[in-house]
Amino acid sequence: MLKFEAKDTAFRRNHVFRMGGRSLQKTGPLLMGILNITPDSFFSGSRITNERELLDRAGLMLEQGADILDLGAVSTRPGASDLGPEEELSRLIPAIRLIVRHFPEAFLSVDTWRTEIAREAVEAGAFMINDISGGIFDAQMVEFIAEKNVPYVMMHTTGRPSEMQSKALEAGEVLETVKNFFREQIDLFSWKGAKQLITDPGFGFGKTLNANYMMLGRLQELRLKNYPQLVGLSRKSMIYKLLDEAPETALNGTTSLNTIALLNGADILRVHDVKEAKEIIELTRKLAQSLSL
């Protein structure tokens, strides 16, 4: 049974992230809008193929209430093949510069696990690094994040996208495995001096369907040392496969699961559909406020 009390929610938490002389400060959940400059993202509606589309999409998300824009140049869908660093860089850096030039107040996150890409992204104006491997794929990432004290999303996965589902965790093992991963990586990054850490349990990244729902239902148990918690459920296969649909028709399911994530204390929602996510944040905020009267 889902238990919801006002004190359990993210609506009273104060978030402060700093980078390059700028700060993002907000009380309550944050919204991260997804910008995919990839031709093979699992959700066709998220694919951006030219500069005009990128600016239009970024501008709309900011207008609708996105606090952070998350820019990715490599598809990380299950089974996706890797992209070389040169091509990732050639896609990413011009896109960062374009967004920074047109939306200088935007807080831009870059979805990459490569330290060399992260370094150039930050130099080009990125505010945050979102690493699907939590520092596992590139051991130099911890040194860079600590050196620059970059806000850093540490996600759990069981392997690279091409292989992760062959190592999928079952429901009975997923909670302890993910918690142990966060314990080890938080200790490592903290020991090196990184302070602005965000955890992401990695829904859909090397977990069975039951394991994904186990994590969602017991999300609060995956919060370690009170670091902010990011949840990325948007249009994923745990929704559309269960409902016998497709990513393009999975918005209603996404909204339902994002609401559950908020009720279980999620601090950041990573979404394709900012307007709808903003609405459920406001509705759930009202619920939290009414329970605290």
Strand order in the sheet with 128-131: 197-200, 152-155, 128-131, 108-111, 68-72, 30-36, 268-271, 230-231
Q: In the chain, how many domains are there?
A: 1
pTM: 0.93
For 205, the domain range is 29-291
Asked if 147 contacts 65 with a C-beta cutoff of 8 angstroms, the reply is: no
How far is Cα 273 from Cα 249, in angstroms, rounded to an integer? 12
Q: Residue 16 domain-assigned?
A: no
Classify 88 as helix, strand or coil: helix
Any idea which residues carry the catalytic annotation? 236, 270
Q: Residue 19 domain-assigned?
A: no
Burial class (CB in 10 A: 0-12, 13-18, 19+), 105: exposed
Task: CATH number of the domain at 201, please.
Answer: 3.20.20.20
The CB-side HSE value for 17 (13 A sphere, CA atoms) comes to 24
Which amino acid would we find at residue 112? T
Q: Residue 7 domain-assigned?
A: no
How far is Cα 270 from Cα 114, in angstroms, rounded to an integer? 20
Which amino acid would we find at residue 279? E
How far is Cα 45 from Cα 179, in angstroms, rounded to an integer? 33
Q: Which residues contact 129 (CB under 8 A, 6 or more apart)?
A: 109, 110, 112, 118, 121, 122, 141, 145, 150, 151, 152, 153
The CB-side HSE value for 92 (13 A sphere, CA atoms) comes to 31
95, 246, 262 from 45: Cα distances, Å: 18, 11, 25
Q: Residue 41 domain-assigned?
A: yes
Classify 184 as helix, strand or coil: helix
Asked if 253 contacts 259 with a C-beta cutoff of 8 angstroms, the reply is: no
Asked if 27 contacts 265 with a C-beta cutoff of 8 angstroms, the reply is: no
Q: Residue 225 domain-assigned?
A: yes
Q: Residue 10 domain-assigned?
A: no
Tens digit of each residue's pLDDT, the chain (293 residues): 345 554 446 788 999 999 999 999 999 999 999 998 877 555 556 678 789 999 999 999 999 999 999 999 887 666 556 777 898 999 999 999 999 999 999 999 999 999 999 999 999 999 999 999 999 999 999 999 999 999 999 999 998 887 878 889 999 999 999 999 999 999 999 999 999 999 999 999 999 999 999 999 999 999 999 999 999 999 999 999 999 999 999 999 999 999 999 999 999 999 999 999 999 999 999 998 888 75
